[in-house]
Amino acid sequence: MGRWFWVKVVGNFLNLSTVAGLVVGVIGRARFSRGPRGLVFANGYKVKFPMAGAFTIGNVVLSKHEQAYFDDEALVRHEERHSWQYFCLIGLPLWPLYVVGVVISWVLTGDPASRNPFERLANLKDGGYVERPIQSFGQTLAQTFSVLRSRPKEP
């Protein structure tokens, strides 16, 4: 990759996605540190949404976990690929497109990542995802309702 990451550092700053990532990190009371290749790590993120081990906004990789979580180089590469997706889509237009990807993936497989083009391009396995087979929509609906039913009630 050489020095190309500097193009992305500048691009994601100008398209405001990195700025959005920093604001979200501040709101989530995360601790910031420097990651590799121009990435910014934001650990100890305190907001419950989104429900992921790690997620990326611009060049900022956020996680509710401690910094040791990013010792997983495959995971960092996965999140870094998402940061290139922000660059390619000129920032936050990624969000609505990502949601479309989640819906397509859920309809086809009952899983939000397996057929989501953004997660596939970032490498499912590096992101810790298991590829689910395509299934009938009836099966997906039955699966979703059983998950909703089995969810414990909040006190």
Residues in the site for Zn ion, rule: CB under 5 A? Answer: 119, 122, 127
Least Cβ distance, residue 11 to Zn ion (angstroms): 19
Q: Which residues pair with 60 in a beta bridge?
A: 40, 57
Least Cβ distance, residue 70 to Zn ion (angstroms): 14
Least Cβ distance, residue 3 to Zn ion (angstroms): 25
DSSP string, 66-86: -GGGGG-HHHHHHHHHHHHHH
Residue closest to Zn ion, measured at CB = 127
- Omega before residue 50 within 30° of 0, cis: yes
Residue 136 backbone dihedrals phi, psi, to 5 degrees: -70, 155
Q: Which is nearer to Zn ion, 101 or 127 (CB)?
A: 127
Q: Which is nearer to Zn ion, 38 or 127 (CB)?
A: 127
DSSP string, 101-123: HHHHHHHHHSSSSTT-HHHHHT-
Q: Which is nearer to Zn ion, 15 or 78 (CB)?
A: 78
Least Cβ distance, residue 66 to Zn ion (angstroms): 20
Q: Which is nearer to Zn ion, 10 or 132 (CB)?
A: 132
